Amino acid sequence: MLVAKVGLDGHDRGAKVVARALRDAGFEAIYTGLHRTPEEIVEIALQEDVQVIGVSILSGAHMTLLPRIASLLRERGMERQVLLVAGGIIPDEDVEALQREGVAAVFGPGAATRQIVEFLRERLGMTDSRPAPAPPVRPSAKTAGGERPLAPSH
């Protein structure tokens, strides 16, 4: 799963919390770091063959950036394979418009990580809530992350 931070917004603690929660839930999460462009995010999503892109936006630019990502996914023929979800500061009144643009779900600041994980599991067709002992279906939600590595640095 890709956890992405797009644009100028410089706050990534929430994104990192989500990325860690995804890891603890048995997913493979890739954090993209801060200030990625929509083009970069979609290219990373392609190379890593992710199933989910989770975009974290706190800057208010969601109505430009999210549709741009959705449109790039369509351009590259990826929109049927990649679930696009968003989190951060996104007003309720914009959610419907975003969903029309192809964002499957929007998680506001109060959303519990468990809620996000359950939503993703359900949409990805993983009904068993325990971590799989067999190799995980590769739900590579890429999580774009900020400056600090989420994983121990090498």
Partner 1 sequence: MPPATDPRPAPTASLGEPSDGLDRYARPQPSELVERMLAGDRRALARLLTLVENQTAEGEEALRLLPRRGAGERGHVIGFTGSPGAGKSTLVGKVIDGFRARGEKVGVLAIDPSSPFSHGALLGDRIRMLGREQDQAVYIRSLSSRGHPGGVAAATAGMARLLEAFGMGRILVETVGAGQSELAIMGLAQTVVLVFNPGAGDEIQGLKAGIMEIGDLLVVNKADLPGAREAAGFLKAALRVGPPPQPGSWEVPVLLVSAATGEGIDLLIQGLEEHRRYLEASGEGGRRRRLQAENELANLIRERLARQVLDRARREGEWDRLIEALSSGDLDPHTAADRLLGA
Task: Give the dihedral of Cα atoms 145, 146, 150, 152; nearest 10 deg.
Answer: 130
Site string for partner 1, 54-93 (x = CB under 8 A): ----------------------xxxxxxxx----------
Inter-helix orientation angle 62-75/38-48, to 10°: 40
Interface with partner 1 includes 128 (CB under 8 A)? no
Kindly state the smallest distance separating residue 60's Cβ from partner 1, in Å: 24
Among 17, 59, 63, 102, binds partner 1 (CB under 8 A): 102
What DSSP line would sit under 54-120, residue for residue?
EEEE-SSTHHHHHHHHHHHHHHTT-TTT-EEEEEES--HHHHHHHHHHT--EEE-TT--HHHHHHHH
d(CA 154, CA 138): 23
Among 6, 15, 25, 86, binds partner 1 (CB under 8 A): 25
Q: Does residue 96 come out as left (phi exceeding 0), alpha (psi in the -120 to 50 range) or beta?
A: alpha
Kindly state the smallest distance separating residue 40's Cβ from partner 1, in Å: 4
- Site stretch for partner 1 (CB under 8 A), options 33-41, 53-61, 85-93, 106-114: 33-41
Size of the chain in residues: 154
Kindly state the smallest distance separating residue 20's Cβ from partner 1, in Å: 7
Site string for partner 1, 103-122 (x = CB under 8 A): -x------------------
Interface with partner 1 includes 43 (CB under 8 A)? yes
List of residues contacting partner 1 (CB under 8 A): 19-20, 22-33, 36, 39-40, 43-44, 46-49, 51, 76-83, 102, 104, 123-126, 131-138, 140, 143, 145, 149-154
